[in-house]
Amino acid sequence: TDALHLKEVNVHMLKSEALVLVAGRTHPLSRRETVAYKDLHHQPLLLPKTDEVTGGFERSLEKERIKPRILEFASINGLRNCLQRGIGITLCPEVSVRSALAEGALVKLQWAGEPLQTTILMIWHAEKWRSPLLKHFMKIAETEIGLEPGVFAIPAVHTVL
């Protein structure tokens, strides 16, 4: 099935989104042909404080016994400024850094491991009334994210890495 219906919430998977490791042009890893888990040991890993995207990646690092120095940022601009100055790396949805990559402000690191991805979910309370406006918004969100309204192609209930 493409949806999960629990007692209190409905969860629909909308889309999988590619995640990329990025760094500034002057960062030492930006010159590597590929980057593997071992290359991340003791590297500053810059993450937004509210990030829910990288949890699976962080668990993978622990499993591989890799200990990056995780630095959390309240400001995305602060995080981006550090990256552009060659301080640290980050993992984020590719779509969120597409323009910075095209401009050359950031460099996509060639990950040697399995492809990294996250899932975009639409979650709503199962027993709460949804207004016509909210239902319309949900259809627009489905369309804008790239799927036909009412079509949920890939089953998922949580972030996948």
| Backbone φ and ψ of 5, nearest 5° | -115, 105
Can you give the pLDDT of all 161 residues of the chain as single tens digits?
A: 355 556 788 888 888 888 999 999 999 999 999 999 999 988 999 988 766 666 778 888 888 898 888 888 888 888 889 999 999 999 888 888 899 999 999 999 999 988 888 888 888 888 889 999 999 998 888 888 865 444 443 333 333 33
Strand ranges for the chain from DSSP E? 3-5, 9-24, 44-48, 69-73, 89-93, 106-109, 117-125
Token pair recorded at residue 155: 């089953």
pLDDT value of position 146: 62
How far, in Å, CA of 140 to CA of 95, rounded? 19
How far, in Å, CA of 113 to CA of 124, rounded? 34
pLDDT value of position 151: 45
Strand ranges for 39-139 from DSSP E? 44-48, 69-73, 89-93, 106-109, 117-125
pLDDT value of position 160: 34
pLDDT value of position 156: 36
Q: Work out the end-to-end distance of the chain between its first and last CA atoms, rounded to an integer number of angstroms.
A: 20
Instruction: Yes or no: say if 117 and 160 are a contact pair by the CB < 8 Å rule.
Output: yes
Residue with the two structure tokens 């042909």: 33
